[in-house]
Amino acid sequence: MQEKYFPDMEIINSDIEDKILNIVNKIDFNKYNKNDVINTLQKDNCSIEDFCALISPAAKELIEPIAKKAKSERERFFGKNVYFFTPLYISNYCENHCVYCGFNCKNNIKRAKLNLEEIENELIAIKKTGLEEILILTGESRKMSDVNYIASAVQLAKKYFKNIGLEIYPLNTDEYNLLHKSGADYITVFQETYDKETYIKNHLKGHKSIYSYRINSQERALKGNMRGVGFGALLGLGDYKKDTLSTALHIYFLQKKYPKGEFAVSVPRLRPTVADSNINPNDVGELELLQIMCAYRIFLPFINMTISTRERADFRNNAVKIAATKISAGVSTGIGEHTNKKEGDNQFEIADPRSVEEIYTTLKNIGMQPVMNEYVWV
């Protein structure tokens, strides 16, 4: 049954949600054994069934051969390249009540919104680090960060950066098209969890409470001519195996439907926030996270994969050698911190505070090739 959308929400009648849930709701990960995993690693192409085996409990005991296979696939499609970017938070006002998020509307945090002059100063500070890609983020508030405000920020960013991504509230097709025309290259929307019951329990108020509108965000963006779309579940919020499978299927089905699009995945785990220091990723440890990343790389070898500063430096250094292709550097999740004029509180605590230069040097020393940009505009 169709959820009751807010009046400003576009309905596109997509079949993607049903395709995902029809598979995930029937899956039993405990049915897979070591032989299923071993057989998967011997294949040239990984099926949906094979992917399920790779994220099953049985696969944990075979993490070394799984990582070896993932590394081989990573090098086949990306070589030693590791792509750099940094996030720029321009507003932390939010109208959603998401129980795990530092920005949620019920939290008593310092709110702020940068004006265009402040945004440009932040952009200039980031540009000095040598970065060529930026990810612009806001809290999910149409009132405080409307589409025209975001479009103006994108236009400013285009003066300084070659590649511009957005991680904002979900939009309609025409709004995505406006941001694309303003200079945005891709959008990322985390579904957080694909389990509807868990989703409803964790999203209590606001536009984000409408599950189906959110799950169709990437398709609306592709219909709105965005070049690329990013996906991710917030690992630890729900059953991480089902959320991992759902995310992979989301990419798989949309890639078949929109073969010209560029697709990417992130693997964020729950982190403590300024409002709640006890938030943690439950049963998703570093072993499970590596297993997830390797499975993504084997099943979807062509996609970019981001490993964020939610993770330790040593883990990130190893992750980019095995499965991840994209890394954030010089990160701040607060408002105005790139110019040392912090205006608003951070979304979550980071675990890797290294500068762009420090991460660049480390990756060179371990045999990887840092890349600031590889797009050519004609």
pLDDT digits (tens, 9 = 90+) for 80-95: 999 999 999 999 999 9
Residue 196 has pLDDT above 70, yes or no: yes
Mean pLDDT of 25-49: 98
Residue 302 makes CB contacts below 8 A (sequence gap 6+) with 77, 263
Return the percentage of the chain with pLDDT > 90, whole number: 83
| In-domain check, residue 11 | no
Reported as a single tens digit per residue, the pLDDT across 204-263 is 999 999 999 999 999 999 999 999 999 999 999 999 999 999 999 999 999 999 999 999
| In-domain check, residue 82 | yes
**310-328 per-residue burial string, b: 16 or more CB within 10 A, e: under 16:** bbeeebbbbbbbbbbbbbb
The alpha carbon torsion through 13, 14, 15, 16 (nearest 10 deg) reads -150
Reported as a single tens digit per residue, the pLDDT across 286-340 is 999 999 999 999 999 999 999 999 999 999 999 999 999 999 999 987 788 888 8
| In-domain check, residue 308 | yes
Mean per-residue pLDDT over the chain, rounded? 93
Structural domain of residue 293, as residue ranges?
Answer: 16-371
| In-domain check, residue 178 | yes
Mean pLDDT of 112-128: 96
Count CB neighbours of 147 within 10 A: 18
Rounded to whole angstroms, how far apart are CA atoms 225 and 181?
Answer: 9
Mean pLDDT of 41-55: 98
What pLDDT is attached to residue 100? 83
Q: How confident is the model at residue 375 (pLDDT cuts 50, 70, 90)?
A: confident
Domain CATH code at residue 132: 3.20.20.70
Contact of 84 with 131, CB cutoff 8 Å:
yes
| In-domain check, residue 8 | no
| In-domain check, residue 284 | yes
Query: Domain count of the chain?
Result: 1
Q: How confident is the model at residue 185 (pLDDT cuts 50, 70, 90)?
A: very high
| In-domain check, residue 91 | yes
Rounded to whole angstroms, how far apart are CA atoms 48 and 84?
Answer: 30
| In-domain check, residue 7 | no
Backbone dihedral region for residue 166 (phi beyond 0: left; psi -120 to 50: alpha; all else: beta):
beta
Residue 276 has pLDDT above 70, yes or no: no
